A and B are shown apart, each in its own frame.
Chain A
Amino acid sequence: MNAWMWVGAGFAATYGTFVGYVLTLRARARRAGVVGERGGSR
């Protein structure tokens, strides 16, 4: 494995984690009623 592949793996892990966590938060927000209701946000 060359150096750029390790770098790519690290960057993919980083930005993949961010996207995954944001999607998780969105799902949790919807369940808690924070988003998805017009004018119902806190």
Chain B
Amino acid sequence: MTRPRQLRTRWSALSAAVVLALLVGLVAAVTAPPDRLQGQLMRLMYVHVPAAWVAYLAFAVTFGASVGWLWRRDDRLDLVAAASAEVGVLFTGLAIVLGSIWAKPVWGVWWTWDPRLITTAVLLFVYLAYLGLRRATIERDARSRRSAIFGCLAFVQVPIVHLSVVWWRALHQQATVLRPGDPTMDHRMLAALLVNLLAFSGLYLVLLRANYRIGYAQDENERSAQEENEDLAGDAVMPVAMSQEVP
């Protein structure tokens, strides 16, 4: 199947725009003013927060596609759900690692049993389990159905992670941007954060599309291999069946 040239050009343009936005984001993160309390370490927030945001976005897309599959039984939605979950896992892992790199000099520890950290780790394991479930189920329909149900249930974890800092006040700071009222940040810091949010979201789209295409191709390969096997099995059975018909 050949894609229209216009569509391919559009995706190439988006990929180039994402690379440019990531570079602008890096410059903005390095040149933004230092924080009054955290100093230069605040700059890690320009990558940590967008990584966490993209993880939420990716799991929301998995949820939407899972609901869509249960409703319409469209295999493409199953592939979107799987592709988005994988990208979400990558960004969740990255958010945890970046949080850890920030926590060591600021909190004095790599890891602490804070509700936000625990719920985020659970989120990571839940979606790793989702990917594991997909690999463990060979039959296509059963895989799609189980994954869709799992994808719907797993999303419950996302609001729990986001609201964990409100429900259980502990070490992790509360939301600065996604909160009622205006963000409590200097406008130059906010601009640097927003540029990176935009760049990371664009990157998510590019990775999602690439992952979806791979899933689609693997699905096609799987289908044709299955058909070939069925044909071979048919050939093997035919002579026996024919011999029985001959008087």
Give A residues with C-beta under 8 Å from B: 1, 3-4, 6-7, 9-11, 13-15, 17-18, 21-22, 25, 28-29, 32-34, 39-42
Contact = CB atoms under 8 A, between A and B. Distances in A.
20 contacts: A6-B44, A10-B43, A10-B44, A10-B101, A11-B29, A14-B47, A17-B94, A18-B22, A18-B203, A21-B207, A22-B207, A25-B207, A32-B218, A33-B217, A34-B214, A41-B3, A41-B8, A42-B213, A42-B216, A42-B217
Contacts of B203: 18
A21 B203 CA distance: 11
Contacts of B244: none
A34 B211 CA distance: 11
Dominant SS among interface residues on chain A: helix
Interface residues of B, number: 33
- Please classify the interface of chain B as helix (H, G, I), strand (E, B), loop, or mixed, using the class held by over half of its residues: helix
A34 B22 CA distance: 26
B39 interface: yes
Contact of B104 (A4, A6, A32): A6
Contacts of B22: 15, 18
B232 interface: no
Which 10 residue pairs spanning A and B have beta carbons closest together? Answer: A3-B40, A32-B217, A10-B44, A14-B47, A10-B101, A34-B217, A7-B43, A25-B210, A32-B218, A3-B41
Contacts of B3: 41-42
A5 to B, nearest CB: 9
B41 A6 contact: yes
